[in-house]
Amino acid sequence: MSSFALYLIGFIILIAGLAYGAFMLGVALIWIGVCSVILIGLGIITGVAKTRTKDESPAD
């Protein structure tokens, strides 16, 4: 399994836990959904940034 997939799975588990906690606190479902979508987007962006391989520059 790739590093990106593992990162995304962990991030989704984190979001699920936060969403469940917000639900237990009585936060409106629409706001839980909005925040979840935003966090998934952030997870994808940071996952790509952290797991991207660096371009090698040619040695002179």
In a domain, 7, yes or no: yes
Separation CA 50–CA 10 (nearest Å): 14
The angle subtended at Cα 47 by Cα 43 and Cα 52, nearest 5°, is: 160
39: in domain: yes
What torsion do the CA atoms of 32, 37, 39, 42 make, to the nearest 10 degrees?
A: -170
Q: Answer yes or no: is 54 within a domain.
A: no
The domain tally of the chain equals: 1
Whether residue 41 lies inside any domain: the answer is yes
- Digit-coded pLDDT (tens) for 7-42: 889 999 999 999 999 999 999 999 999 999 999 999
With respect to residue 58, please indicate whether it lies within any of the assigned structural domains.
no
Distances 5 to 40, 45, 48, 54 between C-alpha atoms, Å: 13, 13, 10, 18
Does 26 map to a domain? Answer: yes
Q: Would you state the pLDDT for residue 20?
A: 97
Domain enclosing residue 21, as ranges: 3-49
To the question of pTM greater than 0.85 for the whole model, the response is no
Could you tell me which residue, 18 or 58, shows the higher pLDDT?
18
